Amino acid sequence: MPQLGLLHGRAWASLLGQLLRPPRAVCMGAVHSHSQVAEAVLMSQLKSHQEKSNFIIKTPKGTRDLSPQQMVVREKILDMVVSCFKRHGAKGLDTPAFELKEVLTEKYGEDSGLIYDLQDQGGELLSLRYDLTVPFARYLAMNKVKKMKRYHVGKVWRRESPTIVQGRYREFCQCDFDIAGQFDPMIPDAECLKIMCEILSGLQLGDFLVKVNDRRILDGMFAVCGVPESKFHAICSSIDKLDKMSWKDVRHEMVAKKGLAPEVADRIGDYVQCHGGVSLVEQMFQDPRLSQNKQALEGLGDLKLLFEYLTLLGIAEKISFDLSLARGLDYYTGVIYEAVLLPTPAQTEEEPLNVGSVAAGGRYDGLVGMFDPKGHKVPCVGLSIGVERIFSIVEQRMKTFGEKIRTTETQVFVASPQKNFLQERLKLIAELWDAGIKAELLYKNNPKLLTQLHYCENMGIPLVVIIGEQELKEGVVKLRSVASREEVAIKRENLVAEIQKRLSES
Amino acid sequence: MPQLGLLHGRAWASLLGQLLRPPRAVCMGAVHSHSQVAEAVLMSQLKSHQEKSNFIIKTPKGTRDLSPQQMVVREKILDMVVSCFKRHGAKGLDTPAFELKEVLTEKYGEDSGLIYDLQDQGGELLSLRYDLTVPFARYLAMNKVKKMKRYHVGKVWRRESPTIVQGRYREFCQCDFDIAGQFDPMIPDAECLKIMCEILSGLQLGDFLVKVNDRRILDGMFAVCGVPESKFHAICSSIDKLDKMSWKDVRHEMVAKKGLAPEVADRIGDYVQCHGGVSLVEQMFQDPRLSQNKQALEGLGDLKLLFEYLTLLGIAEKISFDLSLARGLDYYTGVIYEAVLLPTPAQTEEEPLNVGSVAAGGRYDGLVGMFDPKGHKVPCVGLSIGVERIFSIVEQRMKTFGEKIRTTETQVFVASPQKNFLQERLKLIAELWDAGIKAELLYKNNPKLLTQLHYCENMGIPLVVIIGEQELKEGVVKLRSVASREEVAIKRENLVAEIQKRLSES
């Protein structure tokens, strides 16, 4: 079969194009002789067979669809998160999925390689947004907004090696809350931490801890340990990996890959093992080396004030000052934080290390100024909830407990035990829809009553309205409770009111 | 100044990269002599000045941010649309923003050039989704789902020449409802039209009309008019432009650009001027040419049945059979529809032609089969609400009527008339937040009372809790109504209950 050989030589994409063309395209164009047409049909069948077996239908690497079950879980979690943001007076904002490429340039340090670029199809060079923070800063600068408390729920995209099991994807949803503006120190910062605690407590994900540090303390620490200033960002990125890698491996990266002197790395090692409450802040004030550094002292002073506010807000015991917390992103300038779920005693044995960050954020006072033609600064502080990780946890928990999720909200089903009643069913359901009642029927002319009742049980629909010849004659309908199987006859004109009454009681 | 000349020669993108690098980067790397450093600083300042004046900060062409005011309007409209979808028993679904490029290939006819491709950064070739229909079909085929009623609200992207004034963007939101599965004819199709009518009536956008046609009637019409089968898609695309172009221009396109014989074009012209109710369906059954075409007869038969169901659902008077309706997308196979707002008498004089489509859809029985390895078909019918157009209309109306929109939902403001009361304000507001009350305070140590009260008036916050030395001593707080300016003293322990009572009453 020479045709087959010919086919092998063609590019897969072009074959695919043919596969996806509607069948009628085969016979398009000029008139063929009978044998030519037959050959074309044969060719097409051969191609079709081969292409279809080659064509694997999937979502792009690192992405996924959310099924109706997952959507219900997601909606509940997002509602809870957004209602907390609104409780703290935030306004909504939305920005495009992509930005001018230059807007994202030089904002993400070592992670910049993970940005998705759009193809140059003529016109501007564009990239998919990598987070919601840089677009927010761009919005503030572009509109000369000096003060704003906003939330934003949206997808972001990062070309990471996806390890799906841990709930990390290349496309994922972020829920951000940020406070922009010049205010008295640490009040907005404390509110951000309060919001993180409210959300994590509200979602009942188990015990959690919020690690806090300050970029100025980190920079001060690097300086007093002897890190050259040119290596601050690179070493900061290494430190950021301490939640995924052991100190030994991070030290190796700093020394072997980033050219840090071993004794400098060891000095850093002494600091990054420190974590504790406000007493550790006091202790660091006394640290002979750190207390000599102006930046570090500023950071420590702010942390001390922050802890005072956190105590007033009732969340100080959830917060831990942790010198190993670095946060990879370039744009942070002050306090930084990251919430982690604490393992249950059972988990501690299984996977003693990383339980994963579920929320994070910090202060970024310079980012807006990078977009302003005159460099005018708008100080900002904010947080991002890692909802994908939270989705996985809640999903897993529901599976474990075998919870059944309703994926529709239908309240009433319209049924008939008799043939040729589609017309009456349609008239009836239109009345219900027009009254705002959530209702369904089967898209069949003559469905069996049992099939209709089974549908209600499977879908968890609580009420059934049944209409047949007898009811039609008497001007009534039967209203049936699916759970109790009780049926009562109700005057047609009272049906909507009766349904609304029953629904408000349940 | 030779440096300046040098700068002019550089690529703008590279300059921009430098602008966006943090200032400290200038002094990184090897040690310079004093004059070298000074020169570097000067260079940097010159660059800085020049680059900043070049750098125009904006959103990508055809996209926009949604401000808090716009977000409030959008949220209301989307809530209304989604609640209608849920009323009809739909489940939620989400798909990634991008798909494998091949998934979108050959689905959109002449519009395929408008698809955004992602840059090839190694790995798969990807494109941003162009609608929500093709991803839905891909989902069904991939998961072998044979039956599903789903809604999806999400952004789609099309590289169109944006005419912002008409509410057309390159990034826009779609709200889709689709019914997949093999059912008795025209019942799901009728429900889709019912949904469109419910939404358009519910949003109170003014009078509207839903044009209905059928792809089989169009194909039959093309056949009996003498259009060669190879030109069906191209001519269909031309007909689709009749809402934006006059018949004369469309005819010119068909004849001059698409090579149609003038007399064939004129025969089409006779048909596409026809529109009316169910009586036009009857009339077309009698049409000497059309009644000879099997496909056309099938389409007419289904339309007749559809009109019967639409009458039962109480919306027949909103529907017009219109032979000029074509819908550009390749994948439709049966009934198609499009809702247009009817101009008010005033508008008719100003812009007598296009008022714009606000919802559309149709039946696509072949799309899922294009993704299935064995070509198994899953018939589908659905609709898409053009919410961007609706946003513009509602926004415009609110501007006209001068309606003020609250962009936050804050219920209570926590204030103090005295200095050094930040601690008490923080303790108080934490109580409110923990009780689920939406509350704000000013991020200042010692704000003036007047400033605090003005903030409440500007933001529309209804209640103020005031705490001062006297109140603290007596264990009370003052609760003030912003509207009436009435103040009452309330025991601290009763505050939350009192606020909740007041909020439930209002």
At A352-363, the pLDDT tens digits run: 444 578 999 999
In what helix (H) or strand (E) does residue B7 lie, and over which residues does it extend?
Answer: helix B2-9
Q: Are B370 and A20 a contacting pair at CB < 8 A?
A: yes
Å from B76 to nearest chain A CA? 12
Average pLDDT for B432-449: 98
Which residue of B59, B363, B459 to mutate against A (max A Cβ within 10 Å)?
B59
Percent of chain A predicted with pLDDT > 90: 73
Using the Cβ of A57 and the Cβ atoms of chain B, whether some distance falls under 8 Å is answered with yes
Q: Are A57 and B103 a contacting pair at CB < 8 A?
A: yes
Residue of A nearest to B170 (CA): A96
pLDDT of residue B34: 45
Question: How far apart are the C-alpha atoms of B273 and A206, rounded to whole Å?
Answer: 67
Query: Is residue A271's pLDDT more than 70?
Result: yes
Torsions phi, psi for A460 (to 5 deg): 70, 30
Give the 3-state secondary structure of residue A208: strand
Question: How far apart are the C-alpha atoms of B49 and A77, rounded to whole Å?
Answer: 47
Query: Is residue A20's pLDDT more than 70?
Result: no
| Nearest to B397, CA basis, from B228, B244, B204, B159 | B204
Confirm if A230 and B28 have CB atoms less than 8 A apart: yes
Å from B460 to nearest chain A CA? 12
**Which residues of B, range 129-188, sit inside 8 Å of A by Cβ?**
138-139, 141-142, 149-150, 155, 157, 159, 171, 179, 181, 183-184, 187-188
**Which residues of B, range 59-98, sit inside 8 Å of A by Cβ?**
59-61, 63-68, 70-72, 74-75, 86-98
| Lowest mean pLDDT segment, chosen from A14-18, A190-194, B376-380 | A14-18
> Residues of B with CB below 8 A from A60's CB?
96, 98-100, 124, 126
pLDDT of residue B398: 86
| Lowest mean pLDDT segment, chosen from A135-139, A267-271, B16-20, B382-386 | B16-20
B145-149's contacts with Cβ under 8 Å and 24+ in sequence apart are B145/B180, B145/B378, B146/B180, B146/B181, B146/B182, B146/B378, B147/B180, B147/B181, B147/B182, B147/B378, B148/B91, B148/B178, B148/B179, B148/B180, B148/B181, B149/A408, B149/B88, B149/B89, B149/B90, B149/B91, B149/B177, B149/B178, B149/B179, B149/B180
Question: How far apart are the C-alpha atoms of B229 and B57, rounded to whole Å?
Answer: 50
**Sheet arrangement for strand B380-385:** B91-92, B148-157, B171-180, B380-385, B357-363, B335-341, B208-214, B319-322, B275-276
Instruction: Write the residue in A105, A118, A437 that is nearest to B20 by C-beta.
Output: A105
Residue type, B229: E
pLDDT tens figures, B296-336: 999 999 999 999 999 999 999 999 999 999 987 778 999 99
Residue A125: both structure tokens together: 């060079």
Query: Is residue A314's pLDDT more than 70?
Result: yes
Burial (0-12, 13-18, 19+ Cβ within 10 Å), B500:
middle
Query: Is residue A280's pLDDT more than 60?
Result: yes
Torsions phi, psi for B253 (to 5 deg): -60, -45
pLDDT of residue B269: 94
Question: How far apart are the C-alpha atoms of A100 and A106, rounded to whole Å?
Answer: 13
Question: How far apart are the C-alpha atoms of A182 and A378, rounded to whole Å?
Answer: 7
Query: Is residue A19's pLDDT more than 50?
Result: no
Give the 3-state secondary structure of residue A476: strand
Instruction: Write the residue in B94, B407, B444 that is nearest to A91 by C-beta.
Output: B407
Rg of chain B, C-alpha, whole Å: 31
pLDDT tens figures, B392-421: 889 888 888 887 889 999 999 999 999 999
pLDDT tens figures, A333-389: 999 999 999 987 666 555 544 457 899 999 999 999 999 988 899 999 999 999 998
Alpha helices in B253-338 (DSSP H): 262-272, 278-286, 294-312
Give the 3-state secondary structure of residue B174: strand
Instruction: Write the residue in A150, A314, A366 that is nearest to B430 by C-beta.
Output: A314
Using the Cβ of B497 and the Cβ atoms of chain A, whether some distance falls under 8 Å is answered with no
Å from B117 to nearest chain A CA? 6
Q: How far is CA A66 from the centre of its chain?
A: 11
Residue B53: both structure tokens together: 């004046």
Confirm if A225 and A217 have CB atoms less than 8 A apart: no
Using the Cβ of B11 and the Cβ atoms of chain A, whether some distance falls under 8 Å is answered with no
Residue of A nearest to B118 (CA): A118
Q: Are B124 and A409 a contacting pair at CB < 8 A?
A: no
Question: How far apart are the C-alpha atoms of A158 and A143, rounded to whole Å?
Answer: 27
**Which residues of B, range 359-378, sit inside 8 Å of A by Cβ?**
366, 370-371, 373-375
Task: Please count the other Cβ atoms lying within 10 Å of the Cβ belonging to residue A133.
Answer: 25
Instruction: Write the residue in B24, B124, B438 that is nearest to A229 by C-beta.
Output: B24
Q: Are B93 and A67 a contacting pair at CB < 8 A?
A: yes
pLDDT of residue B424: 97
| Nearest to A337, CA basis, from A150, A189, A449, A498 | A189
Using the Cβ of A54 and the Cβ atoms of chain B, whether some distance falls under 8 Å is answered with no
Residue type, A216: R
Cα separations in angstroms, A329 against A236, A296, A336, B154, B190? 9, 19, 11, 28, 53
Q: Are B90 and A408 a contacting pair at CB < 8 A?
A: yes
Question: pLDDT band at residue B491, thresholds of 50, 70 and 90?
Answer: very high
> Residues of A with CB below 8 A from B90's CB?
408
Residue A98: both structure tokens together: 């992509």
* Residue bearing the bigger pLDDT, A244 or B215: B215
Å from A435 to nearest chain B CA? 10
pLDDT tens figures, B242-299: 888 899 999 999 999 999 999 999 999 999 988 999 999 999 999 999 999 999 999 9
Strands of A147-223 (E only): list them. 148-157, 171-180, 208-214
Which residue of A99, A115, A118 to mutate against B (max B Cβ within 10 Å)?
A118
Average pLDDT for A175-200: 98
Å from B118 to nearest chain A CA? 4
pLDDT tens figures, B167-188: 579 999 999 999 999 999 999 9
Å from B346 to nearest chain A CA? 30
Question: pLDDT band at residue A167, thresholds of 50, 70 and 90?
Answer: low
pLDDT tens figures, A107-117: 887 788 899 99
> For chain A, what is the mean pLDDT?
87
Confirm if A195 and A383 have CB atoms less than 8 A apart: yes
Residue A66: both structure tokens together: 């959310």
Q: Are B374 and A52 a contacting pair at CB < 8 A?
A: yes
Å from A21 to nearest chain B CA? 6
Residue B495: both structure tokens together: 């505050």
* Residue bearing the bigger pLDDT, B107 or A140: A140
Confirm if A153 and A199 have CB atoms less than 8 A apart: no
Alpha helices in B21-67 (DSSP H): 34-54
Å from A322 to nearest chain B CA? 25
Using the Cβ of B124 and the Cβ atoms of chain A, whether some distance falls under 8 Å is answered with yes
Instruction: Read off the DSSP letter of residue B406.
Output: -
Cα separations in angstroms, A399 against A163, A207, A393, A409? 21, 20, 10, 21
